[in-house]
Amino acid sequence: MNIMNLLFNLINGISLGSVYAIIALGYTMVYGIAKMLNFAHGDVIMVGAYICFFTMSRLSSLFEPGSLAAMAVPSLAGVVLAMIVCTVLGVVIERLAYKPLRQAPSLAVLITAIGVSYFLQNSALLLWGSEPRIFTSVVGSGSIQLFDGQLTITYTSIVTMLTCVVIMVVLTLFTSGTKMGKAMRACSEDKGAAMLMGIDVNRTISMTFAIGSALAAIAGALLCSTYPTLMPTTGSLPGIRAFTAAVFGGIGSIPGAMLGGILLGLIETFTKSYITTNLYDAVVFGVLIVVLLVKPTGLLGKQIREKV
Amino acid sequence: MAKEFQKGKMVPVPSHSIVPERDVDQMPVLECSHLGIDFGGLTAVNELNLTIGRTEIAGLIGPNGAGKTTVFNLLTKVYQPTRGTILLNGKDTHGMSTTQVNRAGIARTFQNIRLFTNLTVEDNVRIGLHNQVRYPMWDGVFRLPQFWKQEKVAHEKAMELLSIFHMEDLAQHQAGSLPYGAQRRLEIVRALATNPRLLLLDEPAAGMNPSETHDLMENIIKIRDTFHIAIMLIEHDMNLVMGICEGICVLNFGEVIAKGTSEEIQRNPKVIEAYLGSGKKGG
Protein backbone atom coordinates (compact mmCIF):
# COMPACT_ATOMS: atom_id res chain seq x y z
CA MET A 1 0.00 0.00 0.00
CA ASN A 2 1.87 3.06 -1.13
CA ILE A 3 1.12 6.55 0.09
CA MET A 4 -0.02 7.96 -3.27
CA ASN A 5 -2.47 5.15 -3.68
CA LEU A 6 -3.79 5.86 -0.20
CA LEU A 7 -4.19 9.58 -0.94
CA PHE A 8 -5.90 8.79 -4.23
CA ASN A 9 -8.41 6.55 -2.51
CA LEU A 10 -8.91 9.05 0.26
CA ILE A 11 -9.83 11.79 -2.21
CA ASN A 12 -12.08 9.50 -4.24
CA GLY A 13 -13.73 8.30 -1.04
CA ILE A 14 -14.41 11.82 0.21
CA SER A 15 -15.69 12.80 -3.23
CA LEU A 16 -18.07 9.84 -3.41
CA GLY A 17 -18.99 10.42 0.22
CA SER A 18 -19.83 14.03 -0.58
CA VAL A 19 -22.43 12.85 -3.08
CA TYR A 20 -23.88 10.46 -0.49
CA ALA A 21 -23.86 13.27 2.06
CA ILE A 22 -25.83 15.60 -0.22
CA ILE A 23 -28.41 12.86 -0.84
CA ALA A 24 -28.49 11.93 2.85
CA LEU A 25 -29.31 15.55 3.72
CA GLY A 26 -32.57 15.18 1.80
CA TYR A 27 -33.47 12.02 3.73
CA THR A 28 -32.51 13.41 7.09
CA MET A 29 -34.25 16.79 6.71
CA VAL A 30 -37.50 15.21 5.57
CA TYR A 31 -37.29 12.65 8.38
CA GLY A 32 -36.51 15.31 10.97
CA ILE A 33 -39.51 17.43 10.05
CA ALA A 34 -42.15 15.18 8.52
CA LYS A 35 -41.07 12.08 10.52
CA MET A 36 -41.24 9.94 7.39
CA LEU A 37 -38.76 8.06 5.24
CA ASN A 38 -39.05 9.38 1.74
CA PHE A 39 -37.87 6.37 -0.23
CA ALA A 40 -38.72 8.19 -3.47
CA HIS A 41 -35.80 10.53 -2.80
CA GLY A 42 -33.37 8.36 -4.78
CA ASP A 43 -35.61 8.52 -7.82
CA VAL A 44 -35.80 12.29 -7.64
CA ILE A 45 -32.01 12.15 -8.09
CA MET A 46 -32.51 10.12 -11.24
CA VAL A 47 -35.06 12.60 -12.61
CA GLY A 48 -32.65 15.43 -11.85
CA ALA A 49 -29.86 13.64 -13.68
CA TYR A 50 -32.06 13.05 -16.76
CA ILE A 51 -33.16 16.70 -16.88
CA CYS A 52 -29.53 17.78 -16.59
CA PHE A 53 -28.49 15.29 -19.29
CA PHE A 54 -31.13 16.40 -21.80
CA THR A 55 -30.51 20.11 -21.20
CA MET A 56 -26.78 19.64 -21.64
CA SER A 57 -27.04 17.62 -24.81
CA ARG A 58 -29.60 20.04 -26.29
CA LEU A 59 -27.58 23.14 -25.46
CA SER A 60 -24.05 21.91 -26.21
CA SER A 61 -24.70 21.91 -29.97
CA LEU A 62 -25.50 25.63 -29.84
CA PHE A 63 -22.03 26.64 -28.78
CA GLU A 64 -18.72 26.49 -30.58
CA PRO A 65 -16.91 23.35 -29.36
CA GLY A 66 -13.98 24.05 -27.07
CA SER A 67 -15.01 27.59 -26.16
CA LEU A 68 -15.48 28.59 -22.55
CA ALA A 69 -19.21 29.16 -23.09
CA ALA A 70 -19.59 25.65 -24.47
CA MET A 71 -18.12 24.26 -21.27
CA ALA A 72 -19.90 26.44 -18.74
CA VAL A 73 -23.33 27.36 -20.08
CA PRO A 74 -24.85 23.92 -20.82
CA SER A 75 -23.74 22.40 -17.51
CA LEU A 76 -24.85 25.37 -15.46
CA ALA A 77 -28.18 25.56 -17.26
CA GLY A 78 -28.59 21.80 -16.86
CA VAL A 79 -27.99 21.84 -13.11
CA VAL A 80 -30.20 24.89 -12.54
CA LEU A 81 -33.05 23.50 -14.63
CA ALA A 82 -32.72 20.12 -12.89
CA MET A 83 -32.93 21.88 -9.51
CA ILE A 84 -36.06 23.75 -10.55
CA VAL A 85 -37.77 20.64 -11.94
CA CYS A 86 -36.85 18.54 -8.89
CA THR A 87 -38.00 21.23 -6.45
CA VAL A 88 -41.39 21.32 -8.14
CA LEU A 89 -41.48 17.52 -8.32
CA GLY A 90 -40.63 17.17 -4.62
CA VAL A 91 -43.30 19.63 -3.55
CA VAL A 92 -45.90 18.03 -5.83
CA ILE A 93 -45.08 14.54 -4.51
CA GLU A 94 -45.49 15.78 -0.95
CA ARG A 95 -48.81 17.51 -1.71
CA LEU A 96 -50.36 14.63 -3.63
CA ALA A 97 -48.93 11.55 -1.97
CA TYR A 98 -47.86 12.37 1.58
CA LYS A 99 -49.97 15.31 2.76
CA PRO A 100 -53.26 13.35 2.67
CA LEU A 101 -51.54 10.79 4.94
CA ARG A 102 -50.36 13.28 7.57
CA GLN A 103 -52.48 11.58 10.24
CA ALA A 104 -52.06 8.02 8.90
CA PRO A 105 -49.82 5.41 10.55
CA SER A 106 -46.19 5.68 9.51
CA LEU A 107 -46.31 2.29 7.79
CA ALA A 108 -48.92 3.61 5.31
CA VAL A 109 -46.67 6.57 4.49
CA LEU A 110 -43.66 4.28 4.07
CA ILE A 111 -45.51 2.02 1.63
CA THR A 112 -46.72 5.10 -0.27
CA ALA A 113 -43.14 6.34 -0.53
CA ILE A 114 -42.07 3.01 -2.02
CA GLY A 115 -45.02 3.29 -4.41
CA VAL A 116 -43.95 6.78 -5.48
CA SER A 117 -40.43 5.43 -6.01
CA TYR A 118 -41.68 2.76 -8.43
CA PHE A 119 -43.99 5.27 -10.08
CA LEU A 120 -41.07 7.58 -10.83
CA GLN A 121 -38.86 4.74 -12.07
CA ASN A 122 -41.52 3.39 -14.39
CA SER A 123 -42.50 6.83 -15.64
CA ALA A 124 -38.85 7.42 -16.52
CA LEU A 125 -38.77 4.04 -18.27
CA LEU A 126 -41.81 5.01 -20.31
CA LEU A 127 -40.63 8.53 -21.11
CA TRP A 128 -36.93 8.03 -21.65
CA GLY A 129 -36.57 4.33 -22.38
CA SER A 130 -34.45 1.69 -20.74
CA GLU A 131 -31.24 2.09 -22.73
CA PRO A 132 -28.42 3.58 -20.66
CA ARG A 133 -27.33 7.12 -21.55
CA ILE A 134 -23.76 8.21 -21.22
CA PHE A 135 -23.65 11.29 -19.05
CA THR A 136 -20.93 13.84 -19.75
CA SER A 137 -19.47 15.30 -16.59
CA VAL A 138 -20.86 18.70 -15.68
CA VAL A 139 -17.36 19.93 -14.92
CA GLY A 140 -15.56 18.52 -17.93
CA SER A 141 -13.27 15.51 -18.00
CA GLY A 142 -10.01 17.21 -17.05
CA SER A 143 -7.86 16.49 -14.05
CA ILE A 144 -4.89 17.89 -12.22
CA GLN A 145 -1.64 15.99 -11.71
CA LEU A 146 0.27 16.30 -8.47
CA PHE A 147 3.66 14.89 -7.36
CA ASP A 148 4.99 14.44 -10.92
CA GLY A 149 1.86 12.72 -12.11
CA GLN A 150 1.79 10.21 -9.29
CA LEU A 151 -1.51 11.57 -8.02
CA THR A 152 -4.42 12.37 -10.33
CA ILE A 153 -7.41 14.30 -9.08
CA THR A 154 -10.29 14.83 -11.49
CA TYR A 155 -12.06 18.16 -11.69
CA THR A 156 -15.26 16.28 -10.96
CA SER A 157 -14.07 15.18 -7.54
CA ILE A 158 -12.78 18.65 -6.68
CA VAL A 159 -16.07 20.28 -7.66
CA THR A 160 -18.04 17.58 -5.82
CA MET A 161 -16.15 18.15 -2.58
CA LEU A 162 -16.39 21.94 -2.88
CA THR A 163 -20.11 21.76 -3.61
CA CYS A 164 -20.61 19.61 -0.53
CA VAL A 165 -18.76 22.11 1.66
CA VAL A 166 -20.74 25.04 0.23
CA ILE A 167 -24.05 23.21 0.76
CA MET A 168 -23.11 22.36 4.34
CA VAL A 169 -22.20 25.98 5.15
CA VAL A 170 -25.30 27.45 3.48
CA LEU A 171 -27.56 24.91 5.15
CA THR A 172 -26.07 25.59 8.59
CA LEU A 173 -26.54 29.33 8.11
CA PHE A 174 -30.05 28.67 6.89
CA THR A 175 -31.16 26.54 9.84
CA SER A 176 -29.51 28.71 12.46
CA GLY A 177 -30.19 32.14 11.05
CA THR A 178 -33.39 32.29 9.08
CA LYS A 179 -36.95 32.37 10.21
CA MET A 180 -37.80 29.35 8.05
CA GLY A 181 -34.78 27.47 9.38
CA LYS A 182 -35.80 28.01 12.97
CA ALA A 183 -39.38 27.14 12.09
CA MET A 184 -38.03 23.84 10.72
CA ARG A 185 -36.19 23.10 13.95
CA ALA A 186 -39.32 23.94 15.92
CA CYS A 187 -41.46 21.68 13.71
CA SER A 188 -39.01 18.82 14.06
CA GLU A 189 -39.42 18.97 17.83
CA ASP A 190 -43.13 19.55 18.27
CA LYS A 191 -45.44 20.22 15.34
CA GLY A 192 -48.45 20.87 17.56
CA ALA A 193 -46.70 23.49 19.64
CA ALA A 194 -45.19 25.04 16.50
CA MET A 195 -48.65 25.44 14.99
CA LEU A 196 -49.84 27.17 18.15
CA MET A 197 -46.91 29.57 17.89
CA GLY A 198 -48.15 30.69 14.49
CA ILE A 199 -45.83 28.55 12.36
CA ASP A 200 -47.43 27.28 9.16
CA VAL A 201 -46.43 23.61 9.46
CA ASN A 202 -47.65 22.62 5.98
CA ARG A 203 -45.59 25.37 4.40
CA THR A 204 -42.56 24.34 6.45
CA ILE A 205 -42.89 20.71 5.31
CA SER A 206 -43.26 21.81 1.66
CA MET A 207 -40.15 23.93 2.05
CA THR A 208 -38.24 20.95 3.45
CA PHE A 209 -39.21 18.82 0.46
CA ALA A 210 -38.26 21.67 -1.87
CA ILE A 211 -34.78 22.01 -0.36
CA GLY A 212 -34.24 18.24 -0.18
CA SER A 213 -35.25 17.80 -3.82
CA ALA A 214 -33.12 20.69 -5.05
CA LEU A 215 -30.18 19.04 -3.28
CA ALA A 216 -31.15 15.75 -4.94
CA ALA A 217 -30.85 17.42 -8.35
CA ILE A 218 -27.33 18.60 -7.54
CA ALA A 219 -26.48 15.14 -6.23
CA GLY A 220 -27.86 13.58 -9.43
CA ALA A 221 -25.65 15.75 -11.63
CA LEU A 222 -22.58 15.06 -9.49
CA LEU A 223 -23.27 11.33 -9.15
CA CYS A 224 -23.61 10.87 -12.90
CA SER A 225 -20.50 12.97 -13.47
CA THR A 226 -18.58 10.37 -11.47
CA TYR A 227 -20.48 7.28 -12.65
CA PRO A 228 -21.66 8.28 -16.14
CA THR A 229 -24.23 5.53 -16.82
CA LEU A 230 -27.72 6.97 -16.56
CA MET A 231 -30.74 4.64 -16.41
CA PRO A 232 -34.20 4.85 -14.79
CA THR A 233 -32.84 2.77 -11.89
CA THR A 234 -29.70 4.88 -11.43
CA GLY A 235 -31.03 6.66 -8.34
CA SER A 236 -32.34 3.76 -6.32
CA LEU A 237 -29.14 2.12 -5.06
CA PRO A 238 -27.27 5.35 -4.23
CA GLY A 239 -30.52 6.44 -2.59
CA ILE A 240 -30.51 3.39 -0.32
CA ARG A 241 -26.82 3.87 0.50
CA ALA A 242 -27.41 7.54 1.32
CA PHE A 243 -30.30 6.51 3.54
CA THR A 244 -27.86 4.19 5.29
CA ALA A 245 -25.51 7.15 5.64
CA ALA A 246 -28.27 9.22 7.23
CA VAL A 247 -29.03 6.45 9.74
CA PHE A 248 -25.30 5.92 10.30
CA GLY A 249 -24.79 9.60 11.20
CA GLY A 250 -28.01 9.80 13.20
CA ILE A 251 -31.19 10.37 11.25
CA GLY A 252 -32.67 13.82 11.72
CA SER A 253 -29.27 15.40 12.28
CA ILE A 254 -27.81 17.56 9.48
CA PRO A 255 -24.13 17.28 10.56
CA GLY A 256 -24.83 13.57 11.10
CA ALA A 257 -25.89 13.15 7.46
CA MET A 258 -22.70 14.87 6.32
CA LEU A 259 -20.47 12.74 8.53
CA GLY A 260 -22.34 9.54 7.70
CA GLY A 261 -22.16 10.23 3.98
CA ILE A 262 -18.45 10.91 3.93
CA LEU A 263 -17.63 7.93 6.15
CA LEU A 264 -19.76 5.70 3.94
CA GLY A 265 -17.95 6.94 0.83
CA LEU A 266 -14.59 6.28 2.45
CA ILE A 267 -15.56 2.80 3.62
CA GLU A 268 -16.90 1.95 0.18
CA THR A 269 -13.81 3.19 -1.68
CA PHE A 270 -11.31 1.57 0.67
CA THR A 271 -13.16 -1.73 0.67
CA LYS A 272 -13.20 -1.70 -3.12
CA SER A 273 -9.48 -1.04 -3.48
CA TYR A 274 -8.00 -2.94 -0.54
CA ILE A 275 -10.39 -5.78 0.27
CA THR A 276 -12.72 -6.82 -2.50
CA THR A 277 -14.79 -5.11 -5.16
CA ASN A 278 -17.63 -7.56 -4.79
CA LEU A 279 -18.39 -7.28 -1.13
CA TYR A 280 -18.32 -3.55 -0.52
CA ASP A 281 -22.07 -3.32 0.10
CA ALA A 282 -21.79 -6.12 2.66
CA VAL A 283 -18.97 -4.28 4.43
CA VAL A 284 -20.88 -0.97 4.38
CA PHE A 285 -24.01 -2.51 5.85
CA GLY A 286 -21.92 -4.57 8.29
CA VAL A 287 -20.42 -1.36 9.66
CA LEU A 288 -23.90 0.12 9.90
CA ILE A 289 -25.10 -2.86 11.94
CA VAL A 290 -22.15 -2.60 14.30
CA VAL A 291 -22.67 1.16 14.80
CA LEU A 292 -26.36 0.72 15.46
CA LEU A 293 -25.67 -2.07 17.96
CA VAL A 294 -23.29 0.17 19.89
CA LYS A 295 -25.14 3.46 19.43
CA PRO A 296 -28.71 2.90 18.25
CA THR A 297 -29.32 6.59 17.53
CA GLY A 298 -26.42 6.77 15.07
CA LEU A 299 -23.14 8.64 15.45
CA LEU A 300 -24.54 12.13 16.08
CA GLY A 301 -28.16 11.22 16.77
CA LYS A 302 -29.89 12.43 19.89
CA GLN A 303 -31.91 10.34 22.27
CA ILE A 304 -35.53 10.77 21.23
CA ARG A 305 -37.96 11.17 24.06
CA GLU A 306 -41.45 9.96 23.41
CA LYS A 307 -44.06 12.58 24.22
CA VAL A 308 -47.19 11.44 25.98
CA MET B 1 -73.80 39.82 25.85
CA ALA B 2 -76.23 38.85 28.53
CA LYS B 3 -78.35 37.37 25.78
CA GLU B 4 -75.53 34.97 24.94
CA PHE B 5 -75.63 33.46 28.38
CA GLN B 6 -79.33 32.74 28.24
CA LYS B 7 -78.94 30.52 25.17
CA GLY B 8 -77.28 27.78 27.21
CA LYS B 9 -79.89 25.45 28.63
CA MET B 10 -77.98 24.16 31.63
CA VAL B 11 -76.56 27.52 32.67
CA PRO B 12 -77.88 29.20 35.76
CA VAL B 13 -77.67 32.73 34.43
CA PRO B 14 -76.05 35.12 36.89
CA SER B 15 -77.88 38.35 37.56
CA HIS B 16 -75.12 40.26 35.78
CA SER B 17 -72.58 39.49 33.10
CA ILE B 18 -69.28 38.15 34.40
CA VAL B 19 -67.40 40.46 32.05
CA PRO B 20 -65.77 43.09 34.28
CA GLU B 21 -67.36 46.55 34.36
CA ARG B 22 -64.48 48.24 32.53
CA ASP B 23 -64.81 45.93 29.53
CA VAL B 24 -68.56 46.01 29.16
CA ASP B 25 -68.65 48.76 26.55
CA GLN B 26 -65.99 47.13 24.38
CA MET B 27 -66.27 44.25 21.98
CA PRO B 28 -65.42 41.06 23.86
CA VAL B 29 -62.20 39.37 22.80
CA LEU B 30 -63.94 36.03 22.68
CA GLU B 31 -67.55 34.95 22.34
CA CYS B 32 -68.46 31.28 22.09
CA SER B 33 -72.00 30.18 21.58
CA HIS B 34 -73.39 26.67 21.63
CA LEU B 35 -69.87 25.33 21.24
CA GLY B 36 -69.62 21.56 21.32
CA ILE B 37 -67.57 18.61 20.12
CA ASP B 38 -68.27 14.90 19.87
CA PHE B 39 -65.62 12.22 19.66
CA GLY B 40 -67.50 9.36 18.03
CA GLY B 41 -70.49 8.92 20.31
CA LEU B 42 -68.92 10.72 23.24
CA THR B 43 -69.87 14.34 23.78
CA ALA B 44 -66.78 15.90 25.31
CA VAL B 45 -68.00 19.49 25.39
CA ASN B 46 -71.58 20.60 24.94
CA GLU B 47 -73.45 23.91 24.77
CA LEU B 48 -70.57 26.07 25.89
CA ASN B 49 -71.48 29.75 25.96
CA LEU B 50 -68.68 31.99 27.03
CA THR B 51 -67.81 35.66 26.75
CA ILE B 52 -64.44 37.07 27.72
CA GLY B 53 -63.90 40.81 28.01
CA ARG B 54 -60.99 42.73 26.50
CA THR B 55 -58.84 42.76 29.62
CA GLU B 56 -60.53 40.10 31.70
CA ILE B 57 -58.77 37.40 33.66
CA ALA B 58 -61.10 34.43 33.39
CA GLY B 59 -60.90 31.04 35.01
CA LEU B 60 -62.02 27.69 33.67
CA ILE B 61 -62.29 25.10 36.40
CA GLY B 62 -63.83 21.72 36.93
CA PRO B 63 -63.03 18.21 38.16
CA ASN B 64 -60.58 16.01 36.24
CA GLY B 65 -61.89 14.99 32.84
CA ALA B 66 -64.49 17.77 32.76
CA GLY B 67 -63.29 18.87 29.30
CA LYS B 68 -61.29 21.96 30.24
CA THR B 69 -58.30 21.27 28.01
CA THR B 70 -60.71 20.21 25.25
CA VAL B 71 -62.18 23.72 25.42
CA PHE B 72 -58.68 25.16 24.91
CA ASN B 73 -58.15 22.76 22.03
CA LEU B 74 -61.42 23.93 20.48
CA LEU B 75 -60.53 27.60 20.86
CA THR B 76 -57.11 27.03 19.24
CA LYS B 77 -58.59 24.73 16.56
CA VAL B 78 -56.50 21.75 17.51
CA TYR B 79 -59.95 20.17 17.27
CA GLN B 80 -62.57 21.55 14.92
CA PRO B 81 -65.83 22.05 16.83
CA THR B 82 -68.76 19.84 15.90
CA ARG B 83 -71.27 22.57 16.77
CA GLY B 84 -71.40 26.23 17.63
CA THR B 85 -69.41 29.33 16.81
CA ILE B 86 -66.32 31.03 18.17
CA LEU B 87 -66.03 34.77 17.59
CA LEU B 88 -62.54 36.18 18.11
CA ASN B 89 -62.60 39.98 18.20
CA GLY B 90 -66.03 39.67 16.61
CA LYS B 91 -64.68 37.58 13.74
CA ASP B 92 -65.90 34.04 13.17
CA THR B 93 -63.00 31.59 13.33
CA HIS B 94 -64.92 28.91 11.45
CA GLY B 95 -62.61 27.01 9.06
CA MET B 96 -59.45 28.62 10.42
CA SER B 97 -56.40 26.47 11.10
CA THR B 98 -54.43 26.49 14.34
CA THR B 99 -51.80 28.69 12.72
CA GLN B 100 -54.41 31.18 11.52
CA VAL B 101 -56.10 31.33 14.92
CA ASN B 102 -52.74 32.07 16.49
CA ARG B 103 -52.14 34.88 14.02
CA ALA B 104 -55.65 36.18 14.71
CA GLY B 105 -54.75 36.53 18.37
CA ILE B 106 -54.92 33.41 20.53
CA ALA B 107 -51.81 32.01 22.18
CA ARG B 108 -51.57 29.23 24.72
CA THR B 109 -49.40 27.19 27.03
CA PHE B 110 -49.69 23.48 27.67
CA GLN B 111 -50.61 21.31 30.62
CA ASN B 112 -47.56 19.15 29.96
CA ILE B 113 -44.82 21.57 28.96
CA ARG B 114 -44.11 21.58 25.23
CA LEU B 115 -41.10 23.81 24.74
CA PHE B 116 -38.65 23.33 21.88
CA THR B 117 -36.21 21.70 24.27
CA ASN B 118 -33.17 21.60 21.97
CA LEU B 119 -33.37 25.30 21.18
CA THR B 120 -32.11 28.05 23.44
CA VAL B 121 -34.44 30.02 25.67
CA GLU B 122 -34.08 33.04 23.42
CA ASP B 123 -34.80 31.03 20.26
CA ASN B 124 -37.96 29.64 21.84
CA VAL B 125 -39.19 33.19 22.40
CA ARG B 126 -38.07 34.24 18.93
CA ILE B 127 -40.11 31.50 17.32
CA GLY B 128 -43.10 33.13 18.95
CA LEU B 129 -42.00 36.45 17.46
CA HIS B 130 -41.76 34.98 13.96
CA ASN B 131 -45.31 35.80 12.99
CA GLN B 132 -44.34 39.45 13.28
CA VAL B 133 -40.91 39.65 11.59
CA ARG B 134 -40.43 39.52 7.86
CA TYR B 135 -37.30 39.41 5.80
CA PRO B 136 -36.38 37.50 2.66
CA MET B 137 -34.73 34.16 3.21
CA TRP B 138 -31.50 35.16 1.45
CA ASP B 139 -30.98 37.96 3.95
CA GLY B 140 -30.66 35.24 6.59
CA VAL B 141 -28.39 32.94 4.61
CA PHE B 142 -26.01 35.68 3.47
CA ARG B 143 -26.39 37.72 6.66
CA LEU B 144 -27.24 40.92 4.82
CA PRO B 145 -27.67 44.23 6.70
CA GLN B 146 -31.45 43.88 6.86
CA PHE B 147 -30.95 40.56 8.65
CA TRP B 148 -28.77 42.10 11.37
CA LYS B 149 -31.26 44.91 11.82
CA GLN B 150 -34.12 42.45 12.26
CA GLU B 151 -31.97 40.26 14.50
CA LYS B 152 -31.30 43.21 16.79
CA VAL B 153 -34.97 44.12 16.99
CA ALA B 154 -35.95 40.49 17.66
CA HIS B 155 -33.21 40.10 20.28
CA GLU B 156 -34.30 43.22 22.13
CA LYS B 157 -37.94 42.22 22.00
CA ALA B 158 -37.15 38.71 23.25
CA MET B 159 -35.09 40.10 26.12
CA GLU B 160 -37.85 42.54 27.02
CA LEU B 161 -40.35 39.69 27.18
CA LEU B 162 -37.99 37.49 29.20
CA SER B 163 -37.52 40.33 31.68
CA ILE B 164 -41.15 39.93 32.79
CA PHE B 165 -40.02 36.83 34.64
CA HIS B 166 -36.45 38.05 35.18
CA MET B 167 -35.12 35.36 32.85
CA GLU B 168 -32.70 37.47 30.76
CA ASP B 169 -29.69 35.66 32.23
CA LEU B 170 -31.00 32.32 31.04
CA ALA B 171 -31.40 33.44 27.42
CA GLN B 172 -28.57 31.33 26.01
CA HIS B 173 -29.37 28.18 28.02
CA GLN B 174 -30.97 25.23 26.33
CA ALA B 175 -34.69 25.32 27.10
CA GLY B 176 -34.75 21.65 28.11
CA SER B 177 -32.10 22.22 30.76
CA LEU B 178 -34.13 24.76 32.75
CA PRO B 179 -35.74 23.82 36.05
CA TYR B 180 -39.41 22.95 35.90
CA GLY B 181 -40.79 26.26 37.17
CA ALA B 182 -38.64 28.23 34.74
CA GLN B 183 -39.85 26.06 31.85
CA ARG B 184 -43.45 26.89 32.77
CA ARG B 185 -42.60 30.59 32.86
CA LEU B 186 -40.77 30.35 29.54
CA GLU B 187 -43.86 28.81 27.96
CA ILE B 188 -45.86 31.86 29.03
CA VAL B 189 -43.19 34.18 27.59
CA ARG B 190 -43.13 32.23 24.32
CA ALA B 191 -46.92 32.45 24.05
CA LEU B 192 -46.81 36.19 24.78
CA ALA B 193 -44.25 36.64 22.02
CA THR B 194 -46.86 35.72 19.42
CA ASN B 195 -48.60 39.00 20.29
CA PRO B 196 -51.96 37.56 21.37
CA ARG B 197 -55.21 39.31 22.28
CA LEU B 198 -56.18 36.33 24.38
CA LEU B 199 -53.70 34.22 26.31
CA LEU B 200 -54.77 30.73 27.36
CA LEU B 201 -52.85 29.22 30.27
CA ASP B 202 -53.32 25.51 30.88
CA GLU B 203 -52.52 24.84 34.55
CA PRO B 204 -49.80 27.47 34.85
CA ALA B 205 -49.22 26.74 38.53
CA ALA B 206 -49.04 22.94 38.25
CA GLY B 207 -46.08 21.66 40.23
CA MET B 208 -45.21 25.06 41.67
CA ASN B 209 -44.68 25.69 45.37
CA PRO B 210 -46.85 28.29 47.20
CA SER B 211 -44.28 31.07 46.89
CA GLU B 212 -43.81 30.41 43.15
CA THR B 213 -47.59 30.36 42.75
CA HIS B 214 -47.85 33.68 44.52
CA ASP B 215 -45.28 35.22 42.16
CA LEU B 216 -47.13 33.75 39.22
CA MET B 217 -50.40 35.39 40.35
CA GLU B 218 -48.71 38.76 40.49
CA ASN B 219 -47.13 38.18 37.11
CA ILE B 220 -50.40 37.19 35.46
CA ILE B 221 -51.92 40.48 36.62
CA LYS B 222 -48.79 42.32 35.52
CA ILE B 223 -48.99 40.74 32.07
CA ARG B 224 -52.63 41.75 31.73
CA ASP B 225 -51.88 45.33 32.78
CA THR B 226 -48.77 45.67 30.60
CA PHE B 227 -50.10 44.12 27.42
CA HIS B 228 -53.81 44.96 27.88
CA ILE B 229 -54.85 41.46 26.91
CA ALA B 230 -57.38 38.99 28.18
CA ILE B 231 -56.17 35.86 29.96
CA MET B 232 -58.08 32.65 30.47
CA LEU B 233 -56.63 29.98 32.68
CA ILE B 234 -57.31 26.42 33.65
CA GLU B 235 -56.13 25.76 37.17
CA HIS B 236 -56.66 23.40 40.04
CA ASP B 237 -55.09 25.71 42.61
CA MET B 238 -58.20 27.39 44.00
CA ASN B 239 -56.23 30.10 45.81
CA LEU B 240 -54.91 31.23 42.46
CA VAL B 241 -58.25 31.00 40.68
CA MET B 242 -60.26 32.70 43.41
CA GLY B 243 -57.49 35.23 43.92
CA ILE B 244 -57.13 36.65 40.43
CA CYS B 245 -59.99 35.50 38.20
CA GLU B 246 -62.73 38.04 37.64
CA GLY B 247 -65.08 35.63 35.95
CA ILE B 248 -65.08 31.87 36.53
CA CYS B 249 -66.72 29.18 34.47
CA VAL B 250 -67.17 25.71 35.97
CA LEU B 251 -67.32 22.67 33.71
CA ASN B 252 -68.43 19.19 34.64
CA PHE B 253 -68.83 16.34 32.15
CA GLY B 254 -68.38 18.82 29.31
CA GLU B 255 -71.22 21.10 30.36
CA VAL B 256 -71.11 24.47 32.08
CA ILE B 257 -72.64 24.03 35.53
CA ALA B 258 -71.94 27.50 36.87
CA LYS B 259 -70.60 30.87 35.87
CA GLY B 260 -69.92 33.93 37.95
CA THR B 261 -67.56 35.75 40.26
CA SER B 262 -65.45 33.86 42.78
CA GLU B 263 -67.95 34.46 45.62
CA GLU B 264 -70.84 33.23 43.51
CA ILE B 265 -68.93 30.13 42.49
CA GLN B 266 -67.88 29.28 46.03
CA ARG B 267 -71.51 29.44 47.20
CA ASN B 268 -72.99 27.55 44.25
CA PRO B 269 -74.41 24.18 45.42
CA LYS B 270 -73.86 22.55 42.00
CA VAL B 271 -70.16 23.38 42.12
CA ILE B 272 -69.80 22.04 45.63
CA GLU B 273 -71.55 18.84 44.56
CA ALA B 274 -69.36 18.43 41.47
CA TYR B 275 -66.20 18.79 43.51
CA LEU B 276 -67.18 16.97 46.68
CA GLY B 277 -69.97 14.63 45.55
CA SER B 278 -73.54 14.84 46.88
CA GLY B 279 -74.06 14.29 50.57
CA LYS B 280 -76.84 11.76 49.94
CA LYS B 281 -74.45 9.12 48.65
CA GLY B 282 -72.56 9.40 51.89
CA GLY B 283 -69.43 10.68 50.04
Residue B101 forms part of a structural domain: yes
Same domain, B58 and B87: yes
Identify which has the larger pLDDT, B24 or A81. Answer: A81
Same domain, B248 and B201: yes
Residue B114 forms part of a structural domain: no
Same domain, B163 and B270: no
> Do A198 and B140 lie within an 8 Å CB cutoff?
no
Same domain, B38 and B65: yes
Instruction: Kindly indicate the confidence band of residue A65, based on its pLDDT and cuts at 50, 70 and 90.
Output: confident
Q: Which of B116, B143, B194 sits opposite A186 (nearest CB)?
A: B116
* A vs B: CB pairs below 8 A: 92
What backbone torsions phi and psi does residue A129 show, to the nearest 5 degrees? 75, 170
Q: Nearest-CA distance from A101 to chain B in Å?
A: 17
C-alpha B204/C-alpha B237 separation (Å) is 10
Q: Nearest-CA distance from A181 to chain B in Å?
A: 9
> Which CATH number do you get for residue B10?
3.40.50.300
Residue ending a domain, among B135, B156, B183, is B183
Same domain, B7 and B97: yes
Q: Which of B97, B128, B143 sits opposite A197 (nearest CB)?
A: B128
* B110 vs A contacts (CB less than 8 Å): 193
C-alpha A95/C-alpha A100 separation (Å) is 8
B158-197: per-residue pLDDT in tens?
Answer: 999 999 888 889 989 999 899 888 899 999 999 999 999 9
Residue ending a domain, among B153, B183, B213, is B183
Residue B145 forms part of a structural domain: yes
Residue ending a domain, among B183, B215, B235, is B183
Q: Nearest-CA distance from B105 to chain A in Å?
A: 10
List residues of A whose CB lies inside 8 A of any B CB. 170, 173-174, 177-183, 185-186, 189-190, 192-201, 302, 307-308
Residue B190 forms part of a structural domain: no
Same domain, B93 and B205: yes
Q: In whole numbers, what is the pLDDT of chain B averaged over residues?
A: 83
Same domain, B139 and B19: no
Same domain, B29 and B162: no
What number is the ipTM of this complex?
0.74
Task: Provide the domain limits for residue B205.
Answer: 2-105+196-281
Does residue B89 register a pLDDT over 50?
A: yes
Residue B20 forms part of a structural domain: yes
What's the domain count of chain B? 2
> Do A192 and B114 lie within an 8 Å CB cutoff?
yes
Residue B110 forms part of a structural domain: no
Same domain, B149 and B24: no
Residues A38, A113: contact at Cβ < 8 Å?
A: yes
Chain B residue closest in CA terms to A187:
B116
Residue B111 forms part of a structural domain: no
Same domain, B178 and B208: no
Instruction: Kindly indicate the confidence band of residue A149, based on its pLDDT and cuts at 50, 70 and 90.
Output: confident
A17-26: per-residue pLDDT in tens?
Answer: 999 999 999 9
Residue B226 forms part of a structural domain: yes
Chain A residue closest in CA terms to B154:
A179
* % of residues, chain A, pLDDT over 90: 49
B196-234: per-residue pLDDT in tens?
Answer: 999 999 999 888 888 989 999 999 999 999 999 999 999
Same domain, B101 and B132: no
Average pLDDT over residues A63-91: 87
Same domain, B89 and B205: yes
